[in-house]
Structure 1
Amino acid sequence: MALGANLVIALAKLLGGLFTGSPALLSEAAHSVADSLNEIFLLASLKRSRRAPDSKHPFGYGKERYFWSLLAAVGIFVMGGCFSVFQGIEALRSDHAETRTGYVVGLIVLAVALIAEGSSLVRALLQVRGRARQAGHGMRKAIRSADDPALRTVLAEDSTACFGVVVAMLGVGLHMITGEVQWEAWASMIIGALLVFVAYQLAKESRGQIIGEAADPALRRAIREFLERQPEIDTVTTLLSMRLGTLSTLVAARVDLAAGLDSEEVEEVLVRLKKAVREQWPIADQVFLDVTEASPGDRERARHERRQLDAAVNGGPDPDGPEEPDERNRAEEPDTAEREP
């Protein structure tokens, strides 16, 4: 729906901009062309990310969505933001004046664009609301925690487009009233600056996901608490996670088992726990449990990890900030490193 809306809007803005010579309209046309190409990227990512795992990609192709979202952010930056700023600068250097017909045509095109962009934005928001209801939380939290880069990019594009169209309409209207092209030029540069900011935010999020981003803190805490409740587990020394896609997450935990278990019992416990985690949290489809012997330093780090997760879930201070280990942990590190091989 977003792609269809943007293709129609891009053509209308381009024809209107060429007819009137309006820099704000041409900037908006560039914006819509960039959005259309980005949605083609995102449609490709939806298909490619669903491919089954193979020998070269044993964890599947879920990160394809993040890669194509990064390309979409680059497209917004170059084709939308930079071109809009260039158009604004060019308008300031010219003495362009439009006819009254040109102003009317420009405003009509922008009004149609606002209706189309608004319809696409409403559709995306309805999709987010449906997911929020399924997850049992509000719209704001659903938007902030949206893990689908395609949906997040469409939301960013459509909301930015609606704001950009309003700014362009103000620029054209003030140009018509005052006869000063500077109003349209500044509107064009404001649109460009906004697109550059949105592109930066989207690229930053995609970068983190491509590099390897941990799962949601609430999911990590729930899995850790589940493992710690098992009678066969004495301590969960480490729990690592990485999102492999929108529907796939890798979970790797080091656990210190209770004393008295023989080798067969250990194998049965690990198989049962991995199966239970996958069944209770289907998104955690890649689960690995490593049996280790916990040292005092390991136990202290485990307590620190629990405090970090509690702070992240409960909205406390940033739990991922750098923190120097205490002397006891430092002393334990060499022994742990020697024992693990």
Structure 2
Amino acid sequence: MTAQRSQDGGNKTVIAALAANLGIAVTKFGAAFYTGSSSMLAEGIHSLVDTANQGFLLLGIKRASKPADAEHPFGYGVEIYFWSFIVAILIFALGAGFSIYEGVLRLMEPSHAVEAPIVALAVLAASLAMEGYSLSVAYGEFNALRDAASGNGLLADVRAMKDPTIFVVLFEDSAACIGIVIAAAGIALAWITGIAEFDAIGSIAIGVVLAVTAVLLVVETKGLLIGEAASPAMVETIRERVSQRPEIASVNEIRTLHLGPRDVLLTMSCDFEDDIPSQDIEAAVSDIEQRVKHAYPIVRRLYIEVQSKDAHRRALADEDVIA
């Protein structure tokens, strides 16, 4: 139920952002050509890049849902992490790069006033309303999935979330709202003071905001792409429940890996009591697998290794020597 909600929420968030950004991009470009505003042009490029990004996220969602095959026996879930990483790169290279370039270029040219600043500000106000709606959808889905009771704070919950379709759009829309406010401030200051350079400075500031956003997304999506473990709380609960079984002498180790937002690979090394018959060990392994998957449907694959505690310690020591 939670997995289905997360998948539907991710689609809803991305589609809402795509529709909003497409309409906003067209409006901003029209206003940029009409007013000659550098900040407005930077915002238009920003919205166009965001629109393309939502397309890449939808592509990632579709490709990640492909079933496993002989070439990819664990499925294609990691694809959503790859396309999210591409989105972060595009925000930095195109969004931030062009905005800063446009601002610097305008500063080097003879200054010219923004024409029809009221039109530009009206367009930005409408854009803020649309971006605000998209942000509210993204934040609503994020808030529904985050562990708010943990008390770790917003950024910690973002890092704990393994679904980039939620937090990428959340970051993008937050940066978009901040960018709109900056653009409006630049245009308003240029209009009030008569100093046209404020408009160009606004474009540069928008680029800096996008660059910071891109770096944060690169760091988070890079971690997911390389491979991150499941939540410590889930691992600890599984360890405690398995350790309580009478057949288990000790749980040596549990390792997990996210193969997708809703796809976890779990391996477990268990030391069974010496007097347990082999057929009872087989039954216990099967029962543990069923119970773990029932309690945590996100665990799609579970492998249990029957191994004594001493043998496990020797294996870990060998790993350290090889490393």
1:169 to 176, 179, 184: 184
User: What is the CA distance between 1:136 and its match in structure 2?
Assistant: 6.3
Tell me, which stretches of 5 or more residues in structure 2 are unaligned? 1-15
Q: 1:172 to 1:334 in 2, by over 3 A?
A: closer
Q: Provide the identity percentage.
A: 35
Residue in structure 1 matched with residue 144 of structure 2 by the alignment: 130
Residue in structure 2 matched with residue 38 of structure 1 by the alignment: 53
Q: 1:296 to 1:187 in 2, by over 3 A?
A: same
Q: Does 1:29 align with 2:64?
A: no
Residue in structure 2 matched with residue 112 of structure 1 by the alignment: 126
- Cα separation, 1, equivalents of 2:33 and 2:53: 23
Q: In 2, are the aligned partners of 1:97 and 1:179 still within 8 Å (CA)? A: no
- TM-score, normalising length from structure 2? 0.88
Residue in structure 2 matched with residue 333 of structure 1 by the alignment: 317
Read off the aligned partner of 1:84 and give its amino acid letter.
S
Q: 1:337 to 1:226 in 2, by over 3 A?
A: farther
Q: Does 1:286 align with 2:270?
A: no
Q: 1:112 to 1:334 in 2, by over 3 A?
A: closer
Q: 1:109 to 1:296 in 2, by over 3 A?
A: same
Q: Does 1:268 align with 2:252?
A: no
Deviations 1:271-317 (A, max 9, x none): 1111111111111121111011212983xxxxxxxxxxxxxxxxxxx
Q: In 1, are the aligned partners of 2:162 and 2:224 still within 8 Å (CA)? A: no
1:217 to 229, 232, 242: 232
1:178 to 193, 196, 202: 193
Q: In 2, are the aligned partners of 1:215 and 1:241 still within 8 Å (CA)? A: yes
- Cα separation, 1, equivalents of 2:227 and 2:60: 18
Structure 1 vs Structure 2 CA RMSD? 2.4
Task: Indicate the SS of the match to 1:252.
Answer: strand
Greater length-normalized contact order (CA 8 Å, ≥ 6 residues apart): 2
Q: 1:335 to 1:163 in 2, by over 3 A?
A: closer
Q: 1:166 to 1:148 in 2, by over 3 A?
A: same
- TM-score, normalising length from structure 1? 0.83
More moved, 101-110 vs 273-282? 101-110
Read off the aligned partner of 1:333 and give its amino acid letter.
A
User: What is the CA distance between 1:337 and its match in structure 2?
Assistant: 8.3
- Cα separation, 2, equivalents of 1:146 and 1:240: 18
Q: 1:108 to 1:336 in 2, by over 3 A?
A: closer
Q: In 2, are the aligned partners of 1:23 and 1:88 still within 8 Å (CA)? A: yes
- Cα separation, 1, equivalents of 2:253 and 2:176: 44
Read off the aligned partner of 1:174 and give its amino acid letter.
L
Task: Indicate the SS of the match to 2:124.
Answer: helix
User: What is the CA distance between 1:146 and its match in structure 2?
Assistant: 2.7
Q: 1:333 to 1:126 in 2, by over 3 A?
A: closer
Q: 1:227 to 1:336 in 2, by over 3 A?
A: farther
More moved, 155-164 vs 120-129? 120-129
Q: In 2, are the aligned partners of 1:128 and 1:142 still within 8 Å (CA)? A: no
User: What is the CA distance between 1:335 and its match in structure 2?
Assistant: 11
1:155 to 160, 170, 182: 170
Q: In 2, are the aligned partners of 1:295 and 1:336 still within 8 Å (CA)? A: no
- Cα separation, 2, equivalents of 1:242 and 1:334: 22
Read off the aligned partner of 2:185 and give its amino acid letter.
L
Residue in structure 2 matched with residue 312 of structure 1 by the alignment: none
Aligned residues: 305
Residue in structure 2 matched with residue 257 of structure 1 by the alignment: 272
* 1:64-75 equivalences in 2 (<5 Å): 64-75=79-90
Read off the aligned partner of 2:215 and give its amino acid letter.
Y
Q: In 1, are the aligned partners of 2:252 and 2:312 still within 8 Å (CA)? A: no
Q: In 2, are the aligned partners of 1:125 and 1:155 still within 8 Å (CA)? A: yes
Q: In 2, are the aligned partners of 1:20 and 1:98 still within 8 Å (CA)? A: no
- Cα separation, 2, equivalents of 1:336 and 1:258: 27
Residue in structure 2 matched with residue 304 of structure 1 by the alignment: none
Q: In 2, are the aligned partners of 1:53 and 1:59 still within 8 Å (CA)? A: yes
Residue in structure 1 matched with residue 26 of structure 2 by the alignment: 11
Read off the aligned partner of 1:116 and give its amino acid letter.
M
User: What is the CA distance between 1:80 and its match in structure 2?
Assistant: 0.5
Deviations 1:155-174 (A, max 9, x none): 11111100110011000000
